[in-house]
Amino acid sequence: MNDHRKLGRELQLFDTDPLIGAGLPYLLPAGAAVRKAIEDYVHELERRHGYQHVNSPVLGKRELYERSGHWAHYSDDMFPPMQVGGEQFVLRPSLCPHHALIYRSRQRSHRELPLRIAELGGMYRCELSGVLGGLTRVRAIHLNDGHVFCAPEQAAAEVSRSLDLIEAAHAQLGIRARRYRLSLRGDGGKYVDDPRMWARSEQILRDVLEARGQDYDEEKGESAFYGPKIDIQIADAAERETSISTVQVDLYMPDRFELSYIGPDQRARRPVMVHRSVVGGMERLLSHLIEVHAGAFPAWLAPVQAVVLPVSDTEAQAGENLVRRCVAAGLRAELAHPDRGSLGARVRQHRLVPYQLVIGPREAAGHEAAVRLRDGGQVGAVPIEHLVNQLAGWCAPVLS
């Protein structure tokens, strides 16, 4: 079984330190490279699907979360307030209150809707030490979050568009969904008490799933405190289920923050807020991808996409020149210098790198490199002038 905690340390992707604290892992250069590749891919995917990107602070005044309902329904999972200048500030448990304020920063017209905004932002959960582990349960989460503000009649279409976006990203990342779950509220005071609101939100999600012909299970007690959601469930290496991607219909926060837009009749109307996360928290996503790919990431995700292997010191300068050209083209490339061992030893050392570019006397004389693939296949000698562009194409994600 591939355990991301063991693999992540062996491959020098992430680590922890007791001086930083439990549940607060840090990414090493290789892990940071994988995360940056995901960030860039999702950012561009969202941009092509009509999202505008924003940045918001990780702190907010306590009254912000009182307004959003987090303080009443979620404070047990939040870090304690910090007293600053007579005011209380809180590390945010969610990005949605900030995005609601961004929406209401000026008057909106029906012509602007749907308004789609997205952010990769930090949020914090006061998890107990006993449940923390690796990258799956952490206290600092970097969430790929997004919110669509739309007219009520647009909500179903926006939920479906969000699912399209999630499915495209999962296909690119190599994530296989185990099942779709319609997460509903349970009993007790954890949930906003407004049966009519819940019924409207649930019906939108059911209608979308049925229109798409998507099988799903229902589970009570798994919703957000303010509304139901569609969770896409995946399984880890130990066959434990977890959620990465989600879509929620929220009729609660638009009321709490008094959000509005001017309709065609020039009257103020209340928008619907669709919450969606295409790939969820970076930490949990990385844990899953490490286990799924066992470190042999797809070329577009690999920490090092191409390694250049000069056969001897004589070809070292040609190898350095090729690395520089690869890096200039946006590739993650490095040199495996001959002083690091025999060619065979260096090939084995870089067995997880998708493309191994060997330069011997013949290749150096012909301004070529022999391309070896991670699976043992060989492309053969390719002229340097063509090779870099080919590699850039091979290592690019597919955007839809």
- What is the pLDDT confidence band of residue 242, given thresholds at 50, 70 and 90? confident
- What is the pLDDT confidence band of residue 1, given thresholds at 50, 70 and 90? low
Which superfamily does CATH assign the domain made up of 4-293 to?
A: Bira Bifunctional Protein; Domain 2 (3.30.930.10)
pLDDT score for 48: 96
Residue 11 has phi, psi (to 5 degrees) of -90, 5
Mean pLDDT of the region 176-180: 90
3-62 residue pLDDT tens:
899 999 999 999 999 999 999 999 999 999 999 999 999 999 999 999 999 999 999 999
74-116 residue pLDDT tens:
888 999 999 999 999 999 999 999 999 999 999 999 999 999 9
254-282 residue pLDDT tens:
999 999 999 999 999 999 999 999 999 99
Half-sphere exposure of 252 (CA within 13 A, CB side): 27
Which of helix, strand or coil describes residue 271?
coil
What percent of the chain has a predicted confidence (pLDDT) above 70?
Answer: 100
144-156 residue pLDDT tens:
999 999 999 999 9
pLDDT score for 129: 76
193-202 residue pLDDT tens:
899 999 999 9
182, 170, 173: which is closest to 247 by C-alpha?
A: 182
pTM of the full structure? 0.93
Inter-helix orientation angle 155-173/195-211, to 10°? 60
pLDDT score for 144: 96
Which of helix, strand or coil describes residue 375?
coil
Tokens of 335: 């040199």
- 306-394 CATH fold: Rossmann fold (3.40.50)
pLDDT score for 190: 83
Mean pLDDT of the region 307-334: 95
User: CA 15, CA 268: separation in Å to the nearest integer?
Assistant: 51
User: So where are the chain's domains?
Assistant: 4-293, 306-394
Provide the Cα torsion 287, 326, 324, 11; round to 10°: 20
